[in-house]
Amino acid sequence: MKKALQVVQAFDRALIKEITVDDEQALRTKLKTAASTLNNRKDWLKPYERMAILKRAAQLLTSEQGRFAKLIAQEGGKPFTDATIEVTRAIDGLNDAAEELRHFAGKEIPMGLTPASDHRWAFTVKEPIGVVAAISAFNHPLNLIVHQVAPAIAVGCPVIIKPATTTPLCCLELIQLVRQAGLPEAWCQTFITEDNSLAEQLATDERIAFLSFIGSAKVGWSLRSKLSPGTRCALEHGGAAPVIVDRSADIQKTTQSLVKGGYYHAGQVCVSVQRILVHKDIISPFMDEFVKRVTSLRVGDPLFKETEVGPLILPRETERVMSWIDEAVAKGAKLFGGGRFSETTLLPAVLLNPPADAKVSQLEIFGPVTCVYEYEQLDEAIRIANSLPVAFQASVFSEDIEPALKAAECLEASTVLINDHTAFRTDWMPFAGLKQSGYGIGGIPWTMNDMSKEKMIVLKKN
């Protein structure tokens, strides 16, 4: 008898659905199917067919936006309003992948630049890299799947997607829509498992040409070290996003932005605002306004439209975050707000000046907590911001162009945002972790490029 996985609501742990878990034999079958599909070149889908499938999938998802938003809120705990935005982004992502095919092409390589290259015409074409394995995370259970699957479909790669076991339903429902839109099942298969060794088998199988991994740095880097020779990969891990607030910053606008960037999805985002470095001249008015806004956030059931902060994905995560807060306070930090709303849900917290050796200063919190630190000189703030082995997105708030540009130049980040929070993202922009935060570049156009290979063709003229 096959094992079942119970999928529960993040907020109250109520059962949503039981689904069947795949075993090792299922994995072998899926890998064989994907490889056979790739090798049967005459049955490859044409670009216009792939484009049409993605656009039809976007239309189907649009017609079911409310159902998917509810499912995101249930299994993932994201507040319904934000979940609705996630569905909109997923729709846009499907359309973006389809439209990118209009520009997805090789290029002419100049010949005749030397006598040896004369009388030749050369150009490149883009082909699918091969079978893609995609391992996803819980925090954007629909849009992350789109970012991993839609590029593969667009390029023409068979893909096997393993969603997070806490949030598999959005993935399963989305893939059903894609099949309803006309994609043959062999081109996109799901793999459901709680067995980490089976997930590793998927990623490291010699038939996998590209691994897309979203999750912890420990697992991501371990998988990369075990990939089959020739397998490419893209890794998206966590961060501890720094923000520098210059003395010239507009406190009202800055605090409003940072509250959204720090407490969106209860801080369970790899680019959530975490470390806020505030100039000492404005620390008092900044804290007054920031704490007022944070403690006014509406906490509760993510299915309620007024909820702004929902649960953490698992009860054990609330225990971990609470213990990190307690440690910081014991070491001298001052706590504003915080506390427990329920078994799964924490009240938003602000820590003022936690020490450098506290976990909240060293590690990704992934909870509804931000840390505020005073600084005197901009160089000091930049040094602190760059001091961790993780780097993703960073921000600087300033009404003075000089410190803003200096911070933008010196901050170690793949993206520096000026007068905007670190959690800002569009789905067509490059998105990349540096240092331990990742490898490769995300964003639908960049992922499509990663999932392709460029072949050069040289024609010798008579």
Instruction: Please identify every residue annotated as catalytic.
Output: 236, 270
Cα 32 from Cα 41, distance rounded (Å): 15
Measured between alpha carbons, how far is 176 from 123 in angstroms, rounded to an integer? Answer: 38
| 108 Cβ contact partners less than 8 Å away, ≥ 6 residues apart | 121, 122, 123
Return the closest-CA partner of residue 426 out of 22, 147, 164.
147
To the nearest 10 degrees (0 to 180), the angle between helices 283-295 and 251-263 is 50
E strand segments, 46-118:
108-109
Q: What SS3 class is residue 447?
A: helix
DSSP state of 129: -
246: burial class by Cβ within 10 Å (0-12, 13-18, 19+)?
A: buried
Q: Which helix (DSSP H) or strand (DSSP E) does residue 93 occupy?
A: helix 80-100
Residues in the chain: 462
Compute the distance between CA of residue 101 and CA of residue 97 in angstroms, rounded to an integer. Answer: 7
Interatomic CA distance for residues 362 and 388, integer angstroms: 7
Q: Name the burial class of residue 310, with classes exposed (0-12), middle (13-18) and buried (19+) by CB atoms within 10 angstroms of its CB.
A: buried
How many Å apart are CA 225 and CA 244, to the nearest integer? 35
φ, ψ at 201 (rounded to 5°): -60, -40
Q: Any residues with CB less than 8 A from the CB of 260 and at least 6 apart, and which?
A: 421, 423
Neighbours of 458 (CB within 10 A): 11
For 80, the token pair is: 């319904």
